[in-house]
Amino acid sequence: MTAVFWKELRAYFDTPAAYVVSVVMLLIAGYLFAQPLFLVNQASLSGFVDNAQLLLVFFVPAVAMRLYAEERRSGTIEILSTLPVGDLEVLSAKYLAAMSLLTFMLAGTCFYPATLGLLGRPDWGAVAGAYAGLWLDCAALAAIGLWASTLTRNQIVAFITAFLIGFALFLVGKINILLPPAFAPALGFLGFDAHIETLSRGVADTRDLAYFASLTGFFLYLAYLRISLRRSAP
């Protein structure tokens, strides 16, 4: 499992893809952070957190789309299946490699709260909660992207599939206020927005943690089933 993890992590940095995705994301995130700071004199992470959710919906599938699709396209999936390592270990190693890169990318934005600390007195509990929410968002989106990657050998198809699911979960949280009162709470709970908003206030609600854990575990389980069925197929 450790060997597969380092193989996957090196594969990201052996090509320009990881560098390009990281730099582009950090540039866009920096603009979203600096805009309210300098244009409206608002020293807050709220605008950045709101927009970062949409950024992650786009960039996380771009990181996860190659995990199994590239193995199938290049034919190395057959070699991988003959190694003395189980499907669960391979799946875990690939997922942890993707999360390591995403954690590295998210850590690159820690400059923003440090800037707020120089300009004022931010609520560090809320800052920690906001980053915890974004990291859990990455975890769920990476699981969706990993599952989408097991469905096809085409990375673009895997990206579009994961993006559409992630965007639907993002959009549900934004439009629930437009829905009838009878449906708004239930549908709002399905979206990312309400859970990240609660964490961004520094409130660690077990319902929000259970939401992200359940969503992540569900798609990882679907990915495991997909891999197991493919190996058992004649």
Cβ–Cβ contacts within 10 Å for residue 31, how many?
11
Average pLDDT of the residues of the chain: 81
- Higher per-residue confidence, 198 vs 216: 216
More confident residue, 78 or 16: 16
pLDDT tens, position by position, 44-91? 666 677 788 888 998 899 888 888 887 777 766 666 666 667 778 888
Report whether pLDDT(43) > 90: no
Mean pLDDT of 228-232: 68
How many structural domains is the chain composed of? 1
Section 207-219 average pLDDT: 92
Q: How confident is the model at residue 207 (pLDDT cuts 50, 70, 90)?
A: confident
Q: What is the pLDDT of residue 234?
A: 44
pLDDT of residue 231: 59
**What is the residue range of 139's domain?**
2-232
In the numeric block, which tokens belong to residue 215?
């969503």
pLDDT above 70 for 166 = yes
pLDDT at residue 218 above 90? yes
Phi/psi-derived region of residue 202, left when phi > 0, alpha when psi is between -120 and 50, beta in every other case: left
The total number of residues shown for the chain amounts to: 234
- Best CA proximity match to 224, nearest among 216, 194, 32: 216
